[in-house]
Chains A and B, each alone.
Chain A
Amino acid sequence: MTEIPTPLPGAKKLGLVIDLDTCVGCHACATNCKEWNTSGHSAPLPDTQPYAARPDGVWFNRIHSYEAGEGDAGRTIHFPRSCLHCEKPACVEVCPTGASYKRAEDGIVLVNAEICIGCQLCAWACPYGAREFDEDDGVMKKCTLCIDRIYNENLPESGRIPACVATCPTQARHFGDLGDPESQVSQLVAERGGYALMPEMGYQPVNRYLPPRRRGRAAVPEAAHAAGEGGLLRRWIDRALSR
């Protein structure tokens, strides 16, 4: 159903918070996502020409790298990109079949692959490039927010987080309810000035990015122990040291 459900009062807004201050661009979240999801809810995530020229594949998470600024102010930033589970997801509204939908209970945007006709209109409608087309099977796929993990009773409580979050070796990825201002992720966003991508599009992404922190160059007063008379070595001649 492609009408965006009006969130029930207190309904969760599940999403990711990605810390660009610690992401080192290792691609772990991307390959782990692929690994989990290729046998997961939207299985498989096919690869075309996997061993030939022009290899390509369906990935729900892709890691870019950018440079911003020049000179001393310049920075290199690694930038994971996946579905932002928008609150106003046109990818859902444009879908003619109801295959693309947003869950009322937690806001997760999913594709029902059994009824998707593969018109790809949702891919056009997503500003963020988060829709991934299974060209071989002719259906649209995308980040599921690991819906088959986060509620999975076959997993221990601590494991009920998205694969990309569980594996991130720098713990740059956080998962939680961004609708609850008290949640750990909301607090993090508030503290660190988390922001949404392309707000001008009006899609109201749920996911947030934490900006790289400003780098202060700690100025330390120079220690005033410089040479006295008679050369530097003399300072140590009468130093009483005990082994």
Chain B
Amino acid sequence: MKPSLSIIAFTTLSGAGFGMLAWTGLLAACGLLPAGAWFGVIAVVVALVLASAGLFASTLHLGHPERAWRAFSQWRTSWLSREGVASLVTFAPGLGLALAWWLAGGAWSVAVAVLGVLSFAAALVTVACTAMIYASIKPVRQWHNRLVLPLYLLNALASGGACLALVAVLWSGAAGVGWAAIAAGFAALLVKLGHWRHIDTTSGRSTIESATGLGAIGRVRALDPPHTEENYLLRELGFRVGRRHAGALRVVALGCAYVAPILLLAAALLLAGIPAAACAAAAAVLALAGLFVERWLFFAEATHTVVLYYGRAA
């Protein structure tokens, strides 16, 4: 599958934004956010800016962005539509949380708790919808599996957590949020490794024989494609990164998206002042950058059954 910048930006940025909102809501509800009337506001705003940037990026992928408003209509069947609806809906508790927090002067209140939980839930639902856009695509075996949903959720929590930790470190010098982010990072790392293992060790149920139905005659080989030059389907669905290249990128993704942020966040929690801020900043930036690579691979390593018709492996 062709990794397109707009979709990578969409999923990573909105994932981080909604992950950050989820943490903000949850920690606010539990009274674990650093105190201060503006902290919550800033956290929510940063989260929603990230999410909005992601949503905006997604429209760049569209052939008709001016018709994007139509995409909220088919929530009954379409995960993409659900994702759109959920992301818009999530803005309500999110903004409400910021307001309640501010009104409550940075302290716990019932409103904060309620809106915090709602924000948490709505944000995770949104990320889950994003995950399901991919996980529901049957022809792509690298997507259509049980690990994609947790992977998206944990990636969102890890990267969102790193972002929130950064805000917290800048705000008050230290924060328990960091531990949450580290935990999410670990979990995400494990699921990612599991996902890679899964796609490396399984193969699709569909074959060129089942795609053509000619297996009864014998082994099937493509002789000639319909047209001699590449077409839209092959460019879009037939894109595949080379094995060696993918291996190198996996190392980069692993290091940047998970290992480095975990270590840097731990350092930020142990250090203080500017070094801590620097570590936290690096952790957040690397987490996002790493996820860009991870997401690029998520597409570039995915194969679509249509390539079977062209004699390639899916």
Contacts and interface: CB of A to CB of B under 8 A. Distances in A.
A69 B206 CA distance: 18
B270 interface: no
Nearest to B68: A117
Interface residues of B, number: 59
Contact of A73 (B79, B133, B217, B306): B217
A136 to B, nearest CB: 9
B71 interface: yes
Interface string A68-88: 111001111101010000000
Contact of A133 (B65, B81, B224, B236): B236
Interface string B128-168: 00000100111110000000000000000000000000000
Contact of B232 (A76, A77, A135, A212): A135
B109 to A, nearest CB: 37
A63 to B, nearest CB: 5
B68 A123 contact: no
Nearest to A126: B139
Given A117-B68, A138-B63, A123 B236 contact: yes
Contact of B139 (A27, A64, A97, A125): A125
A66 interface: yes
Contacts of A129: 233, 237, 304, 306, 309
B310 to A, nearest CB: 8
B223 interface: yes
Interface stretch (A145-153, A155-163, A195-203, A227-235): A195-203
A118 B236 CA distance: 13
A109 to B, nearest CB: 14
Contacts, number: 206
Contacts of A81: 226, 309
How many chain A residues sit at the interface, stated as a range, is 35 or more
A73 B215 CA distance: 12
A95 B206 CA distance: 24
Given A96-B81, A202-B138, A211 B216 contact: yes
B74 A95 contact: yes
B213 A211 contact: yes
A117 B213 contact: no
A44 interface: no
Nearest to B310: A64
B223 A67 contact: yes
B76 interface: yes
Contact of A198 (B62, B67, B206, B223): B206
B73 interface: yes
